[in-house]
Chains A and B, each alone.
Chain A
């Protein structure tokens, strides 16, 4: 699977490893839905850290859509909500 960490680039992650990321993502999603800032920050950080550990960087000239897209490090709940609403304002 191909994963994008926004602001950092894309990673290739083994399909089996994605399960682990999904678990971490569940925690993140809950924090976003409950608007729980104190849970959100560590959840996002844990997810990103693990994704970086599990993934290998895609070459810079690769043009491939990602299967999963992670918010940038340091993103706020508001930012993530915006992403989930319209994927940001820029259109391709």
Chain B
């Protein structure tokens, strides 16, 4: 099985990597005195790796779901800002609408970023799931081969079969091992990131960033809405007091004092209420 090492003049990346993988497997084989022991030991390692891969798949899935949740939260925030912009525009407050849309653009950037992360994790999850299934199939096949080889192990050719099987499974395990490592690194990064975003949301810092301290846009809109309500009610009352006189006449001369009466705070809506 070491015939490849002869043609080392030009190798290329593909050949060099496979040679290294084989050399590693051979080294491990050489350390074992009893080939049967090699098979049993390798099988144990395979089962452990299989467990690790499954945990890896579950971890990636958890990270992905968390990201999905955050994505929904930011999306809701974005929708809200869109709604507020419309309300502000309907109330003739273009400045407020502009502010809402500016903040919405901020959430959009975040959404795009989260979506990219999400897609990348999803890809990782799919690959790892496929790797886990491949490894499972190989481990099952290995168990059968192992018993067959052990039962027939007397002849010298059994050694060749062991070498072949061991090298093949070692290569698979190295590959899966590297995939798992990469997935772990990625989920760790995601966890840290998601944790940071959650913390920001919990502390209100992110909501502040997204929609201003205690949602100033909404407060302004509420004030506008309340202003209209108060004005309308005032009109009605005045009309009643005037004993059914046309409201138009009274409405023509709004007294600023009237408007401030019911609303001790500054009332920006009063002036352009009509």
If A83-B20, A84-B17 touch, does A25 touch B12 (CB 8 Å cutoff)? yes
A53 at the binding interface (Cβ < 8 Å):
no
**Pair A32/B42 contact, Cβ less than 8 Å:** no
B140 at the binding interface (Cβ < 8 Å):
yes
**Pair A91/B24 contact, Cβ less than 8 Å:** yes
User: Can you list, as one digit per residue, whether each of B3-31 has a CB less than 8 Å from chain A (1) or not (0)?
Assistant: 01000001011111110111111001000
**Could you tell me how many residues of chain B have their Cβ less than 8 Å away from some Cβ of chain A?**
46
B177 at the binding interface (Cβ < 8 Å):
yes
B211 at the binding interface (Cβ < 8 Å):
no
Taking Cβ atoms with an 8 Å cutoff, the residues of B that contact A are 1, 4, 10, 12-18, 20-25, 28, 42, 45, 127, 130-131, 133-134, 137-138, 140-142, 145, 164-175, 177-179, 181
A32 and B12 alpha carbons, distance in the complex (Å): 10
**Pair B24/A63 contact, Cβ less than 8 Å:** no
**Pair B12/A92 contact, Cβ less than 8 Å:** no
Question: Shortest Cβ distance from B226 into chain A, in angstroms?
Answer: 56
The 7 A-B pairs at the shortest CB distance, nearest first, are namely A92-B170, A90-B177, A60-B137, A68-B14, A25-B12, A87-B20, A61-B141
Question: Shortest Cβ distance from B86 into chain A, in angstroms?
Answer: 42
**Pair A7/B168 contact, Cβ less than 8 Å:** no
Give every chain A residue within 8 A of B175 (Cβ-Cβ). Answer: 4, 6-7
If A61-B141, A90-B178, A92-B169 touch, does A70 touch B14 (CB 8 Å cutoff)? yes
Give every chain A residue within 8 A of B141 (Cβ-Cβ). Answer: 61-63
